[in-house]
C-alpha cells in the first residue's frame, strides 16, 4: 500500500518530457546524453520550454536531429554547437559566458551587492538617528551649539 | 541633496531610461521581440539539394545551393497547411510579377496539397524544392512559417523575415532591402 502510494507520488513529481516512444534510442548511453542535451536547448517555437519539454513539431525534429548527431559521433558540445550555429545563441538555455552576456551573468549579483550596500547604509543612518533621537543639526544650529558649548567650557 | 535621496532617484532615472528606450524601440516596431535574429545572416547559404514536388502535373524543378547565386533572390519557406502562408501569397505574386526571383521551399507538405495550393492561388516560384522531412529547413534555422530569406548574388544570406510579408512591409522592408543588396 505504502509502496503504491510512494510510486504514485514519485510519478507525479518526477519531471515529464514531450518525447514519444519512437524517439528513444536503443543505445542507453546515447539516449541519456541526448536527454541531457535536449534539456539544454530552447524550443524556439515555445520559447520558454526546452526541446525535451516542448510538444512543438520543431522540438521533435530537433530532438531527432540531436540523436542523429550523437549517432554520427558528435560530442555533447558538438551536437549543441550544431544547433546553435543554425538557430543562434538564443537556443542555449544556459547562455555562454562571453563579453556580450557578461551583464546577464554578473548583473543579478551586482544588483544584489548594490542593494545590500544601500540597505546597510540606510539602516546605519536610521540607527544613528535613533540614538540621537533628533534630526541632524543644520549648519546654523551647529554654530549655535558650538558657541553655547564653548561659552560653557569657558565658565 | 543627501546621498540617500539621490541614490534611489538615480536608480529610478536609470530604469526609466533603459525601459523607456526598450519600450520606444518595440512600440515603434524597430525591434520585433518575437523575431529571432537569424544566426545565418552574412553566412553562405547552407549546402542542400531538394527534389521537386512529387507531382506529375507541373515540374517545380527542385532546388539546390548552386541555384542561389548570380542574382539576388528570395527564398520563401511555405506549406499548404500554413494559414499565414496564404496571407502573404498575394504579396509574393506581386513581387514575382515585378520580376523578383522567388524560390520556394515547400516544408513538410503533401505533394498534392502543395499542388492544389499553387493551382488555386498561383505560383510565384521560379523553382520549388520539396523538404518533406524538414531537415533542410533546420539547416536554414527556420522556426516559424512562413519565413523569407533574402540571398544576394554571391550566395550569402542577408536577411530573414519571420512571418508573412504583409503588403505594407513590401515598401518598408523588402523593396529597400532588395535595392540595397543588389548593389
pLDDT at residue A102, as a whole number: 83
A87–B39 CB contact, under 8 Å: yes
Q: Pick from A51-55, A93-97, B23-27 the range whose average pLDDT is largest.
A: A51-55
pLDDT higher than threshold 80 for residue A45: yes
Q: How far is CA A81 from CA A32, A54, A60, A70, A92, in A?
A: 18, 20, 18, 12, 9
Interchain contact, A86 vs B4, CB within 8 Å: no
Q: Rounded to a whole number, what is the distance in Å from the CA of A58 to chain B's nearest CA?
A: 7
Q: Which residues of B touch A58 (CB under 8 A)?
A: 134, 143
Q: How far apart are CA A87 and CA A58, in angstroms?
A: 12
DSSP states of A69-137 as a string? HHHTT--HHHHHHHHHHHH-GGGBSS---SGGGHHHHHHHHHHHHHHHHHHHHHHHHHHHHHHH-SPPP
Tell me if A40 sits within 8 A of A32, measured CB to CB: no
- Kind of pairing between the strands at B73-78 and B147-151: antiparallel
Nearest to B72 by CA among B142, B156, B151, B162: B151
Supply the pLDDT for residue B31. Answer: 56
Q: Which residues of A touch B7 (CB under 8 A)?
A: 118
How far apart CA A25 and CA A21 sit, in angstroms, is 9
pTM over 0.80: no
- Which pLDDT belongs to residue A134? 54
Cβ contact (<8 Å) for A122 and B4?
Answer: yes
Higher pLDDT, B165 or A100: B165
Name the nearest CA neighbour of B139 among B61, B57, B6, B50.
B50
The model's pLDDT over A104-137, given as tens digits with 9 standing for 90+, comes to: 888 889 989 988 988 888 888 877 766 665 566 7
What is the share, in percent, of chain A residues with pLDDT greater than 90?
A: 25
> Which comes out higher in pLDDT, residue B7 or A79?
A79
Among chain A residues, the shortest Cα distance to B145 is held by A45
Query: Three-state DSSP class for B167?
Result: helix
So what's the pLDDT on residue B102? 96
Measured between beta carbons, which residues in chain A are less than 8 angstroms from residue B139? 86
> According to the model, what pLDDT value does residue A86 have?
92
Q: What is the pLDDT of residue A147?
A: 86
Give the single-character DSSP code of B72: -
Q: Give the model's pLDDT for residue B25.
A: 75
Per residue in A56-77, pLDDT (tens digit) is: 889 999 999 999 999 998 899 9
Q: Which of residues 61-90 of A touch B (CB under 8 A)?
A: 61-62, 65, 84-90
Strand segments, DSSP code E, in chain B are: 49-50, 63-64, 73-78, 101-107, 127-131, 147-151, 157-162
Q: Calculate the average pLDDT of chain A.
A: 84
pLDDT at position B1 is: 58
Contact A63, A38 (CB under 8 A): yes
Chain A residues within 8 A of B108 when measuring between CB atoms: 57
Find the closest chain A residue to B5 by CA distance. A122
Q: What angle (nearest 5°) sits at the alpha carbon of residue A87, between those of residues A83 and A92?
A: 70
Placement of cell 544556459 in the chain: A94
Q: Residue B37 is nearest to which of A61, A84, A88, comparing CB atoms? A: A88
Q: How far is CA B19 from CA A107, B27, B136, in A?
A: 16, 12, 39
Using the Cβ of A46 and the Cβ atoms of chain B, whether some distance falls under 8 Å is answered with no
Please list the helix, strand and coil fractions of chain B in percent, rounded to the nearest 5, in that order. Answer: 40, 20, 40
Helices (H) and strands (E) in chain B, counts: 6, 7
Count how many pairs of residues, chain A against chain B, have C-beta atoms within 8 Å: 40
Least CA distance to B8: which residue of chain A?
Answer: A118
pLDDT at B45: 93
The CA dihedral of A63, A66, A67, A69, to the nearest 10 degrees, is 160
CB-based contact B43:B149 (threshold 8 Å): no
Whether the CB-CB separation of A24 and A31 falls below 8 Å is answered with yes
Residues of chain B with pLDDT under 50: none
Contact A41, A62 (CB under 8 A): yes
Pairing of strands B101-107, B127-131: parallel
* Amino acid A93: pLDDT: 87
Taking a C-beta distance cutoff of 8 angstroms, is the pair B38, B137 a contact? no
For A141-155, the pLDDT digits (tens) are 888 888 888 887 665
* For A126, nearest residue in chain B (alpha carbons): B4
pLDDT of residue A63: 93
Cell numbers at A132, concatenated: 540621537
Question: A122 in contact with B at a CB cutoff of 8 Å?
Answer: yes
Amino acid at each position: 500500500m505504502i509502496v503504491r502510494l510512494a510510486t504514485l507520488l514519485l510519478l507525479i513529481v518526477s519531471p515529464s518530457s514531450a518525447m514519444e516512444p519512437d524517439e528513444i534510442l536503443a543505445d542507453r548511453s546515447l539516449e541519456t546524453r541526448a536527454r541531457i542535451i535536449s534539456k539544454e536547448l530552447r524550443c524556439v517555437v515555445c520559447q520558454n520550454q526546452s526541446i525535451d519539454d516542448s510538444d512543438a513539431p520543431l522540438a521533435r525534429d530537433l530532438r531527432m536531429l540531436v540523436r542523429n548527431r550523437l549517432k554520427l559521433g558528435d560530442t555533447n558540445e558538438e551536437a549543441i554547437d550544431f544547433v546553435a550555429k543554425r538557430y543562434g545563441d538564443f537556443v542555449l538555455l544556459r547562455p555562454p559566458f562571453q563579453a556580450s552576456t557578461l551583464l546577464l551573468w554578473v548583473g543579478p549579483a551586482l544588483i544584489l551587492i548594490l542593494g545590500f550596500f544601500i540597505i546597510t547604509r540606510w539602516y546605519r543612518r536610521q540607527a544613528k538617528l535613533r540614538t540621537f533621537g533628533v534630526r541632524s543639526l543644520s549648519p546654523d544650529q551647529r554654530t549655535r551649539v558650538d558657541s553655547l558649548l564653548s561659552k560653557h567650557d569657558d565658565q | 541633496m543627501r546621498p540617500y535621496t539621490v541614490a534611489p532617484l538615480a536608480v529610478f532615472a536609470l530604469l526609466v531610461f533603459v525601459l523607456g528606450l526598450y519600450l520606444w524601440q518595440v512600440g515603434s516596431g524597430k525591434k520585433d521581440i518575437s523575431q529571432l535574429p537569424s544566426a545565418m545572416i552574412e553566412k553562405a547559404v547552407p549546402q542542400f539539394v531538394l527534389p521537386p514536388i512529387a507531382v506529375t502535373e507541373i515540374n517545380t524543378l527542385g532546388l539546390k545551393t548552386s541555384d542561389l547565386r548570380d542574382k539576388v533572390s528570395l527564398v520563401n519557406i511555405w506549406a499548404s497547411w500554413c494559414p499565414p502562408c496564404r496571407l502573404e501569397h498575394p504579396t509574393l505574386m506581386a513581387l514575382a510579377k515585378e520580376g523578383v526571383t522567388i524560390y520556394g521551399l515547400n516544408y513538410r507538405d503533401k505533394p498534392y496539397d502543395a499542388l492544389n495550393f499553387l493551382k488555386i492561388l498561383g505560383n510565384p516560384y521560379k523553382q520549388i524544392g520539396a523538404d518533406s522531412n524538414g531537415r533542410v529547413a533546420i539547416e536554414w534555422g527556420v522556426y516559424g512559417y512562413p519565413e523569407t530569406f533574402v540571398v544576394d548574388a554571391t550566395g550569402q544570406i542577408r536577411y530573414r523575415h519571420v512571418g508573412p510579408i504583409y503588403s505594407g512591409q513590401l515598401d518598408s522592408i523588402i523593396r529597400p532591402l532588395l535595392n540595397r543588396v543588389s548593389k
